[in-house]
């Protein structure tokens, strides 16, 4: 799967004059809101996400002042669950994105540094990841290992690692071939210095842009797996598992799934917009 990026034209073209395109402002505002909610979940959630209110089951939004977004089958407050789900989904997406970037970049740098056998092994691993849709691979691992939050995050962290590996390898090789890296190496610098002080800072912007492209994909994967009941396990809740749970009540109480679904869509949309905008500004070479 190639990077999923928004069309450049949608965001920047025709709006060149303005420094901050409307969509970008919206994306930043929305993501800040999501981050704020995730950080302050304990404070702002009106109820615990497991708290039952058996007198108000399946209450539609606005029906009682107690539950502005309604309640589910067990009378749990949808708003509170939504807040905690946002926290969970963001935690997973951040964790997994960082893990993927770390693993992928390290392997890519190793491949470029040692070349030869190491590089062939890394490339074979890249082939391997490309040979399986990640969803299938993830499902297989979950079947074999069972599920826990840590495992789940690490598993999603494997998503897109090969993209970082490929990018890092290419950039390191080209940096090392003619340019500044070769120059610093022949000054007598150790590999640590060459990579740590020169190469990584130079390729960081490209890698960060790749992270903003992988982040929404991970949110989608997480919610997809959780929707299937194979991701985040009850009593924990995430955006995807809320949708999966709400699906049972699609006819009677669609509000249970509509609000988490909207949050998923808006969040992935915002990160994509932001990533695309960053890419335009930081790294015109990344297509």
Chain contacts with other proteins (rule: CB under 8 A) = 1-2, 4, 6-7, 9-10, 13-14, 124-125, 127-128, 130-133, 135-137, 139-146, 178-180, 182-184, 186-191, 193, 198, 201-202, 216, 220, 223-224, 227-230, 240, 243-244, 247, 250-251, 254, 257, 261, 264-265, 268-269, 272, 287
- According to DSSP, the residues that pair with 77 across neighbouring strands are 71
Q: How far is the CB of 144 from other proteins (least distance, A)?
A: 4
User: Which positions ≥6 away from 48 have C-beta within 8 Å?
Assistant: 80
Q: How far is the CB of 273 from other proteins (least distance, A)?
A: 8
Identify which of residues 47 and 275 has a Cβ nearer to other proteins in the complex.
Answer: 275
Identify which of residues 150 and 287 has a Cβ nearer to other proteins in the complex.
Answer: 287
Q: How far is the CB of 260 from other proteins (least distance, A)?
A: 9
Q: How far is the CB of 153 from other proteins (least distance, A)?
A: 18
* Structure token pair of residue 119: 């590089």
CA 104 to CA 110: how far, in whole Å? 10
Identify which of residues 6 and 37 has a Cβ nearer to other proteins in the complex.
Answer: 6
CA 198 to CA 98: how far, in whole Å? 21
3-state secondary structure of 31: helix
3-state secondary structure of 273: helix
Identify which of residues 38 and 203 has a Cβ nearer to other proteins in the complex.
Answer: 203
Identify which of residues 131 and 150 has a Cβ nearer to other proteins in the complex.
Answer: 131
Q: 253: left (phi > 0), else alpha (psi -120 to 50), else beta?
A: beta
Among 228, 230, 209, which residue's Cα sits nearest to residue 144? 230
Q: How far is the CB of 35 from other proteins (least distance, A)?
A: 18
Neighbours of 57 (CB within 10 A): 14
């Amino acid at each position: 799967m190639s990077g999923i990026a928004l069309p450049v034209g949608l965001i920047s073209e025709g709006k060149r004059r303005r420094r901050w395109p409307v969509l970008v402002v919206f994306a930043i505002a929305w993501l800040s809101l999501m981050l704020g909610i995730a950080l302050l979940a304990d404070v702002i959630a009106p109820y615990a996400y497991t708290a039952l209110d058996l007198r108000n089951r399946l209450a539609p939004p606005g029906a009682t002042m107690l539950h502005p977004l309604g309640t589910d089958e067990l009378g749990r407050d949808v708003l509170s669950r939504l807040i905690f789900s946002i926290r969970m989904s963001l935690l997973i997406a951040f964790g997994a994105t960082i893990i993927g970037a770390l693993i992928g970049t390290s392997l890519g740098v190793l491949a470029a540094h040692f070349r030869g056998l190491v590089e062939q092994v890394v490339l074979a691993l890249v082939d391997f990841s490309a040979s399986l849709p990640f969803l299938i691979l993830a499902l297989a691992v979950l079947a074999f290992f069972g599920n826990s939050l840590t495992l789940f995050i690490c598993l999603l962290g494997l998503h897109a690692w090969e993209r970082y590996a490929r990018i890092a390898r290419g950039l390191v090789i080209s940096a090392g071939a003619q340019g500044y890296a070769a120059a610093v190496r022949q000054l007598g610098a150790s590999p640590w210095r060459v990579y740590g002080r020169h190469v990584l800072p130079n390729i960081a912007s490209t890698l960060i842009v790749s992270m903003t492209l992988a982040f929404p994909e991970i949110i989608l994967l997480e919610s997809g797996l959780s929707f299937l009941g194979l991701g985040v396990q009850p009593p924990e809740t995430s955006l995807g598992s809320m949708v999966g749970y709400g699906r049972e009540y699609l006819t009677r109480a669609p509000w249970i799934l509509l609000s988490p679904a909207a949050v998923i869509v808006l969040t992935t949309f915002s990160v994509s917009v932001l990533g695309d905008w960053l890419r335009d500004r930081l790294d015109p070479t990344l297509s």
